[in-house]
Chains A and B, each alone.
Chain A
């Protein structure tokens, strides 16, 4: 354990913690833009600056290890002035687009502009223009909204292990080149989209749908593979409009392309919407009412059992459906029909 003082508060932090981590443990707020606890510190945005007793200049708290006896100040008029200037510089070449930006309400930059009351900008200048058309169905890129925090580059490299994104050029012309310069490697997991603090990266399928704040959230579990990732389904008007995942769950908020972007089937016009009965062999399947259909299923299955024995009936359960459904299904065959002929098709 390390003992240090932050803003006059005595704090105990675990060994190896950074000043930022120690402050967050003590619920002391330090603004950040390029930090994500799931990745290595980067030190790019300089919003997390703090003063440390004995050091001449402010340092970035996300990259500075906490040490025994350290005395830290996270806020004073000088630090706030520096932070405000940093945000002003970021806004100087940022399009004033919040009104129509998909990220409004969730955007870290917008939040900082609000916090520092930045309406007019002292540094108004050229806005970088480097949007380009991307031919992929998932990821929308508005490069002029990029604040070069590097989170997307790092998540793709450190977490996904793909490194499909890189930095191109330097300085004002710096440019994040996601999926599309090294197109072939991208797995469309959308990790980069999930960590982007601004509207620079978003889901193409989300465009024109309600923003996150207008949606209702439901916590659930992915329907695809055995990883069992936790999902948050965002719905609006009885429709799933976006899928996200919380960073504090067992999959740490990471998802794959299926979990993140594979939700359109839910509202597919091809969904079955009514019971169907084939009234004679070889004939068509015709719509029918529930009562009639359920009666028919029960009577045909019991008739077969009564005539040919319980073992002439069988059920195939589903590795895709819930435990409760599977339990009741096997119970129906064992206790209701009287056979152990129940299996599921995917025993692997």
Chain B
């Protein structure tokens, strides 16, 4: 999460799930929380039941709208204009938290200046949300004693995802909703251990604990700890790897526990890239679309067959424990990686493949986890930062200062940028993609669970009734949906969940993979691909 890390010095969820029920106002943008984070959504519903005001900003009529005080149905890809206009109102009406801004932030003057042109009337034109609703949203959010912002892939998977996140951060800073209980800026992580994978340094520019590979002092620290010379050059991001494979610069790839051949935007392009490799290793529990392309497939263990830890959205490190044995000759991922690593270079491997010992090695390298060990992780686990063995963990961040030089959070100017690909006469619809309640990611696990597959067993495209009439489409009719990159066939679901001229496809289904259509235009800063918005054409499928 490049956006938040720049502003605050940390990109994680600032507050805790438990505190959500104590929010006085909630602003949910780009997160279909009830379907994607159902248990976090329970706390939101609880807050509403206790009298909190809920603002939902989403182009789709997501289930949470039912509980909302105010629903802002902005056009896909116009999040930052909406956010900027809310902040323009807050400043124009003097609702900002002046003490917080003076004491704990920097860069306010220039930032305030940049908002002047984002009047609610201007934003109404861009976003389609009535100016008066934007004013109301600003007053609700800024007027609450403590208010939390919640967002997910809906605002990050854009070419301007980093800008959106920056804008969300600005909003919380402007109103002093940071460094206190039951408030904050809260990215909800899509997969169970996104937070942990980032924390552990599975990012090309940082070692575990977000310690930068390009800093000589950090490099020296890890060279000493690992006893090996290390490269000072940041590596390629996942999305940059695709290009490097096609150019022949990247020749060997080892993928574990992911299925990018189905989950990457612009799938056809990614598959071509995997095929261009000299050697592809895939380690997984099923023969995924990616594994089909591999030179070697390593059978590994499911979460129920191994020991270790996951770190959930709220920075909570929790134990995972083996309950059954892996099938056949499958092995747990840790022993496999340890065996490969020992063969590549025994000096680089950890002394054993025991999870508790590896955890201890991490704790010694990252102060935020220094106070954790398996002996402390029974029950609910611990939330980092947890610097010492008697520290109870940290429910919310930035109480006294921000982990940046100078200790302050910085406002960022967020310019008005449009989505990379806008609808035109040839591709007149805006496609957004996402998840549905019953499936998870590429469906590798959920589609092999009978019950889940039975209640949600086929791909569909949501289309507004007025568009359906215009195209002469009936509910459940087969449609062809095409973009500049590819075409898929799937069933129509005529519904006013989506607004006119916008269509929605869940990305779990390989037989009509939404990512055949989506774009791989990159956010220039954090290199997330624009999976959320692209232009498509919709027509009846040829029989």
Residues of A within 8 A of B (CB): 136-138, 158-161, 187-189, 204-205, 216, 218-230, 233, 235, 238-240, 249-251, 254-258, 261-268, 270-278, 285, 290, 293-302, 304-305, 308, 310-332, 334-348
Contacts and interface: CB of A to CB of B under 8 A. Distances in A.
B204 A332 contact: no
A229 to B, nearest CB: 6
B192 to A, nearest CB: 5
Interface in B322-359: 322-325, 327-331, 333-334, 336-341, 343-345, 347-350, 353, 355, 358-359
B324 A266 contact: yes
A177 B192 CA distance: 34
Contacts of A317: 197, 200, 202, 256-258
B297 A225 contact: no
B348 A335 contact: yes
B256 A321 contact: yes
A262 B162 CA distance: 33
A319 B331 contact: no
Contacts of A338: 228-231
Given A223-B303, A297-B254, A346-B258, A328 B337 contact: yes
Contacts of B320: 220-221, 322
- Please classify how large the interface on chain B is, using the bins under 10, 10 to 19, 20 to 34, 35 or more: 35 or more
B344 A298 contact: yes
B380 A322 contact: no
Contacts of B347: 335
Given A338-B230, A343-B203, A345-B238, A230 B318 contact: yes
B226 A331 contact: yes
A223 to B, nearest CB: 4
Given A265-B302, A272-B299, A249 B379 contact: yes
Contacts of B329: 273-275, 290
Contacts of A300: 252, 278-279, 295
Given A263-B449, A334-B231, A304 B252 contact: yes
Contacts of B250: 311-314, 341
A345 to B, nearest CB: 4
B152 interface: yes
Interface in B244-282: 244, 249-258, 260, 263-264, 278-279, 281
B168 interface: no
A222 B319 CA distance: 10
Contacts of A344: 194, 197-198, 202-203, 238, 258
A81 B314 CA distance: 50
B471 to A, nearest CB: 26
Contacts of A249: 379-380
B42 A160 contact: yes
B189 A343 contact: no
Contacts of B254: 297, 301, 313-316
B201 interface: yes
B257 A324 contact: no
Nearest to A227: B39
B362 interface: yes
B196 interface: yes
Contacts of A323: 193, 196-197, 199-200, 308-311, 317, 359, 362
A253 to B, nearest CB: 10
A93 B170 CA distance: 62
B341 A275 contact: no
In order of increasing CB-CB distance, the 7 nearest A-B pairs are A228-B312, A273-B328, A318-B257, A322-B308, A226-B189, A340-B235, A298-B343
A261 B451 CA distance: 7
Nearest to A343: B238
Given A227-B39, A325-B334, A238 B328 contact: no
A238 B308 CA distance: 19
Interface in B187-233: 187-205, 207-208, 213, 222, 226-231, 233
B156 interface: yes
B500 to A, nearest CB: 24
Contacts of A343: 202-204, 235-238, 241
Nearest to B355: A324
A231 to B, nearest CB: 9
A142 to B, nearest CB: 19
B451 A264 contact: yes
Contacts of B40: 227
A270 B448 contact: yes
A258 B443 CA distance: 11
A321 B193 contact: yes
B334 A250 contact: no
B299 A220 contact: no
A175 B204 CA distance: 59
B316 interface: yes
